[in-house]
Structure 1
Amino acid sequence: MSIDMTGSSASGIAAALRTRIERGELAPGTLLPSVRAVAVDLGVNRNTVVAAYRQLAQAGLVEARGRGGTRVADRAEVAQEGYAPDTVLRDVGTGNPDPARIPDPTAALARSARPVLYGEPVIDPGLEAWARAWMTDQLPHDDVRITVTSGASDAIERLLAQALQRDDAVALEDPCFLSALHTVRTGGYRAVPVDVDAEGMTADGLRAALEAGVRAVICTPRAHNPTGASLTERRAAALRAVLAEYPYVLVIEDDHFSLLSRSPLHSVIGPAQKRWARIRSMSKFLGPDTCLAVTASDPDTADGLAVRLTPGTTWVSHILQRLTLALVTDDGVRADIEAAAEHYAARNAAFARSLTERGLPTTPGDGLNLWVQLPVSAASVRDDLMRRGWLVREGDPFFLSPAPAGDFLRLTVHDLDESSATALADDIAVAAGTRRPDARGGRIEA
């Protein structure tokens, strides 16, 4: 259909289109006129139209599809981690830790209650002292500040908000952790993809993003979600060398798996960096409901991060802070965390071997999940597995740009028993065409 465009500035064009979209006059999937056509029609510069479309994309109202043009977006919910609601299928795409591996906080909670009044420090002194010792490994800076937030996503949101303006560009790994992608998009920033390979974020990709003008970089040094990649010492050194040429770009190191990781930490924060932050959340080993993360950063970044952490309004509960400290300093709890780490690594490695034996070569990375490349469409495998009783997560939502080769599944299999794991591996192989079912519905090698 023909769309009448109005406006003489980027904000004016965007506002007019937004009104029509919100009123339902432009349905999801509607193709908007090309940038060139709008520029000619309204007598404005093409960059003005580009900026208008970008504003709408940042708000989630339209999406650019390359040669497919710019279309009105479907206002469906952004993909998030967690269990799928209202399903009778066995969900193996959750991204969750095993609840049986989360330490029981009951005893520690009894030691954590003390009234806290307005005006007290926003960070519990005991937790701050412990966190300072824990957070500063490989940091080549003497003046390190500690901040506590309500989880890693809260920290990232605050870090970006104090350093960036709307429409600034942020470098993200591609594929990317869903929460980081969601935080960047809802904050109104532009996500710039940086390729990830078996050694983590690529140096060439980071350089290209920095040359394109990104003002912040979010990097996962180990247990990258979804691929499981961890930075090697060589790759981390290459990334630090690239970042050293851009000392005032904010570097956010999201070390989300920390105590559970089976990979050594190789940091991307170098001595030349002026604006940096390292985040470690408790969600993977103390449970998502802990909602607490610790950030180590330079003083100026810490000041900006803490602006909203004022006593009596947005501090993180001192009960939660002291509970966290009691747990992470308990020898029994630390032994449980170590056992959980070994469990996740062993179960993922065993399932990767099972898939490899069935014609789907899979390398276990670090983290809670497995990243599986398929020889056929992930959508077709998903549909086939649903008929077999499984709910899996496709790789597409994790990518900022089209997948480089093949389709992918991200699987969370660490809580499957041996029988269930064997059945799932068989069913994936059948769905992917590397095995065929027999006449009775069983599975035999092709």
Structure 2
Amino acid sequence: MDLITLVKILGAWSHAPGPLYRLLAQTLRRAILEGDIPPGTRLPAERMLAEALAVSRNTVIAAYDLLQQEDLITRQHGSGTWVRSLPPEKIDGYRSTSNGSLARSPLFEMLLNEPQDLVDLSTGVPGALNGLSLEAFTLSEETLASLLTTPGYAPLGLLELRHSIAHYFEHAGLPTRAEQILVTSGAQQALSLAATLYVQRGDIVMVENPTFFGALDTFRALGARLIPIPVDQEGLRADVLQQALGTGLPRLLYLTPTFHNPTGTLLSPARRRAVASLAKKFSFPVIEDNAFADLNIIGDVPLSLASYAPGEAVLTLSSMNKLFWQGLRVGWIRAPEALITRLGRLKVIADLGTGSLTQAVALQLLKHVDEVKAIRHQQLQDQLNLVTTLLQEYLPDWMWTTPSGGFFLWVCLPFGSASEFAQIALRFAVVVTPGTVMSVDDSHHQYLRLPFLLPSDALEKGIQRLAQAWNVYTQLAREKPDSLNAIF
């Protein structure tokens, strides 16, 4: 198991009371017993793991000692540290009382354990939608009564909602029929269905670099071979894409052309035209992730990529989650009708159809989409001003480019590794996403993604804690090159 994968598995391991060596041993023990670190795995050398976790080598040695005493690992001089095979009763006994491996993810840890003091700057969750009446979220008795007379299954989505989503696309300049819409349980399910439709183990999928880590996880779970295409200030590099197509054709291209996650850039109309032309010429489908398309900060939003490739296999994904509320979990796919039919079959297998009550709320909310866009636009401007003011005050050496939309800053640290810094930030009770998590090739090691559409007090507290962590990180770096793990 490579070092980066192991660090991801460990998650927010150090955010708990107690000596670090015991916390590390406890987290490794859980990962071994739950099977995330399988028998026969060679664990990293003490010094390598210490550097990756920003702890002392003695901390790792002590953690390994505890695991060895419990017969979970074996250590052989000259051949390394290995995870032992365990009797089934020991594994099953542990699993019956565990929360599962997802609990180690910072996001799931917050959802499951609800830590009171941890500031989460790792996820893209929008703040409260102030300014919209709660009546917009409330279904009338007539609507409820009408829904209760239906069977409750609508695999492609409620027809009235599909018409409304089609109108939403029409309003944005993309002619669309209801038959071209599949309603999903959020944008993540839309992505999963679209990927499953096309990708089999070993297939090439081209993606932006960096990109949304949820997309990377989805494609990797399907066994795809990921080819990175770099992003600059105008979005995906269409010239590099064209060069890559000369070496091998992809089964799929995935990109976020409108307010790219994490950089916030906007793919220019010229590049949209170029990408659409290449997709038509080389006959590969495109997943256009428009999850952030309604969250513009600067300038106008260009036409959807699908507008430049009418009739082609361009699957446009979006949802209600980022604009309205993360808990709504209603998304959609817009694609040629034949593809919607095929995707609908996959949707039936997945969950038989998105909940009708949730869809009814979404239908009602779409009537307020222009009003909500205006509210979010003002929030984005205000929060962007706040986060830049805070960074200039507390972390003046950090660098970023103002995003065109979305709610992330793609921050470049003046030196060092964002992954190492993220480990120290954990000890100041703040979680951040380093750039390597959002990179196909574990590049962008000096970057981190910083969300700013958060409650102002949480954002200020988080930036203050990052500044405290950065002061420690900077001091360690000044003392000597290899001292970043010297005091932990």
Q: Which residue of 2 aligns with 1:148?
A: 183
Following superposition, the deviation at residue 276 of structure 1 comes to 1.5
Displacement of 1:103? 5.7
Q: Distance in 2 between matches of 1:395 and 1:78?
A: 22
Matches within 5 A, 1:112-123: 112-113=143-144, 114-115=147-148, 116-117=150-151, 122-123=156-157
Cα deviation, residue 234, structure 1: 2.8
1:243 and 2:279 aligned = yes
Partner of 1:44: none
**Residue 27 of structure 1 pairs with residue 61 of structure 2:** no
Judge conservation of contact 1:260–1:338 (CA < 8 Å) in 2.
no
Query: Displacement, 1:392?
Result: 2.3
The equivalent residue for 1:374 is: 413
Give runs of aligned pairs for residues 168-207 of structure 1, distance below 5 A. 168-207=203-242
1: CA distance, partners of 2:198 / 2:400: 39
Q: TM-score, normalised by structure 1?
A: 0.71
2:107 aligned to which of 78, 82, 105: 82
Q: Deviations over 1:97-135 (max 9, x none)?
A: 113559676663332422221786843232122111212
2:137 to 88, 108, 123: 108
1:441: which partner in 2?
Answer: none
The reply to whether residue 216 of structure 1 matches residue 230 of structure 2 is no
The answer to whether the 8 A contact 2:165-2:178 is kept is: no
* Higher alpha-carbon deviation: 120-129 or 136-145: 136-145
Q: Matches of 1:255 and 1:273 in 2, distance apart?
A: 18
Which of the residues 284, 293, 305 maps onto 1:268? Answer: 305
Identity of matched residues, %: 23
CA distance in 2 between counterparts of 1:284 and 1:162 reads 25
How far apart are 1:214 and its partner, in Å? 0.7
Match of 1:409 in 2: 448
When residues 28 and 168 of structure 1 are mapped into structure 2, their CA distance, relative to the original with a 3 A threshold, is: same
Aligned to 1:342: 378
State which of 164, 167, 170 in structure 2 corresponds to 1:133. 167
Q: 1:401 to 1:265 in 2, by over 3 A?
A: same
The structural deviation recorded for 1:221 is: 1.4
Show the 5 A alignment for 1:418-437. 420=461, 423=464, 426-427=467-468, 430=471, 433=474
Distance 2:338 2:315 in 1: 11
Partner of 1:94: 123
2:367 alignment counterpart: 329
Matched with 2:28 is none
Q: Is the 8 A contact 2:210 2:231 kept in 1?
A: yes
For 1:138-168, what per-residue CA distance to the aligned partner results, in whole angstroms no more than 9, with x for missing partners?
5478897111111222122222222333321
2:343 is the alignment partner of 1:302: no
Question: Which of these residues, 312, 315, 324, is aligned with residue 277 of structure 1?
Answer: 315
Change (3 A) 1:363 1:313: closer
Query: Residue 399 and residue 22 in structure 1: after superposition, are their counterparts in 2 closer, same or farther (change >3 A)?
Result: closer
CA distance in 2, matches of 1:326, 1:133: 14
Cα deviation, residue 225, structure 1: 1.3
The answer to whether residue 398 in structure 2 is matched with residue 364 in structure 1 is no
> Structure 1 counterpart of 2:169, which letter?
M
In the aligned structure 1, how far is the partner of 2:204 from the partner of 2:232? 22
Cα 1:30–1:127 change in 2 (3 A) is: same
In 2, distance between residues paired with 1:201 and 1:94? 23
**Larger helix fraction of residues:** 2
Which runs of 5 or more structure 2 residues have no equivalent in the other structure? Answer: 1-34, 46-81, 84-99, 478-488
Q: 1:117 to 1:81 in 2, by over 3 A?
A: farther
- For residue 177 of structure 1, report the CA deviation from its aligned partner: 0.4
CA distance in 2, matches of 1:319, 1:149: 13
Q: For 1:347, what is the secondary structure of its paired residue?
A: helix
State whether residues 93 and 412 of structure 1, in contact with CA within 8 Å, keep that contact through their aligned partners in structure 2.
yes
> TM (normalized to structure 2)?
0.66
Q: Are 2:230 and 2:240, in contact at CA under 8 Å, matched by a contact in 1?
A: yes
Contact preservation (8 Å) 2:154, 2:353:
no
CA contact (8 A) 1:147 1:302 kept: yes
Amino acid at match of 1:193: P
- Partners of 2:456 and 2:389 lie apart in 1 by 15
Equivalent-residue separation in structure 2 for 1:170 and 1:102 (angstroms): 41
Displacement after TM superposition at 1:407 (Å): 0.5
Instruction: Summarize the Cα distance change of 1:76–1:312 in structure 2 as closer, same or farther, 3 Å threshold.
Output: closer
1:285, CA displacement in angstroms? 2.0
How far is 1:179 from its partner? 1.4
Q: Distance in 2 between matches of 1:256 and 1:276?
A: 15
Higher relative contact order (CA 8 A, sep 6+): 2
SS at match of 1:258: coil
Query: Given the alignment, which residue of 324, 330, 340 partners 1:286?
Result: 324
Which residue matches 2:432? 392
Q: 1:387 Cα deviation (Å)? A: 4.5
Measured in 1, the distance between the counterparts of 2:157 and 2:178 equals 18
Quote the residue 1:231 is aligned against. 267
How many Å separate the matches in 2 of 1:170 and 1:24? 28
Structure 1 pair 130/420, CA: closer, same or farther in 2 (3 Å)? same
CA distance in 1 between partners of 2:134 and 2:120 (Å) = 26
Distance 1:166-1:109 versus aligned 2 partners, 3 A rule: farther
In angstroms, what is the RMSD of aligned CA positions? 3.7
User: Unpaired runs of 5+ in structure 1?
Assistant: 1-20, 32-70, 437-446
- Structure 2 letter corresponding to 1:287: W
Residues paired across the two proteins, number: 370
Amino acid at match of 2:219: V
Secondary structure of 1:280's counterpart equals: strand
> In 2, Cα distance between the equivalents of 1:78 and 1:210?
39
Counterpart contact for 1:413–1:421, Cα < 8 Å: no
